[in-house]
Amino acid sequence: MKTKILSWSLVILWMGLIFFFSHQPATESSELSTGITEVIVDVVNVIAPDNDFMFNQGVINFSIRKAAHFGVYLVLGLLVFNGLIHSSIPRSKAIILALLICVLYAISDEFHQLYVPGRSGQVSDVLLDSSGALMGILLMNAVRRVRR
């Protein structure tokens, strides 16, 4: 029972974190990803100071933003699948239900962004989020199978 409550508490907390990041106006969101981009460029310059890399910070920034979508929903997929398994949902149903929950949350997240200054809802982000969630669900399923 404690594991079930903890599992679903983590899902709710993670969804809250996604909501928090989605609720940031475009300027704040852009500052965060630009800061991460600058750190990556600085680290590469420290590791390889004589590099001939031509950094297109716009491309790196875009890639970081999309990787964040994928990664955040990968974790959500892991957590939702785990919550369903601890709720005694059969594995095959848990996979489908976890994906459905994550896709619906991704849709609601993009809809929410329509009302955040400077942000927009994008179908491509729902697809990317859903792909991340599916990867997380399949990863957690594989880990659970190996552990058995």
pLDDT in tens, 28-68: 777 777 777 777 777 777 887 777 666 677 777 788 888 88
Tell me the C-alpha to C-alpha distance, in Å, between residue 15 and each of 26, 76, 80. 19, 7, 10
CA distance 116 to 94: 33
pTM score, whole prediction: 0.86
33 CB neighbour count, 10 Å cutoff: 18
Q: What is the pLDDT of residue 55?
A: 66
Which helix (H) or strand (E) segment holds residue 130: the answer is helix 123-147
pLDDT in tens, 81-138: 999 999 999 999 999 999 999 999 999 999 999 999 888 889 999 999 999 999 999 9
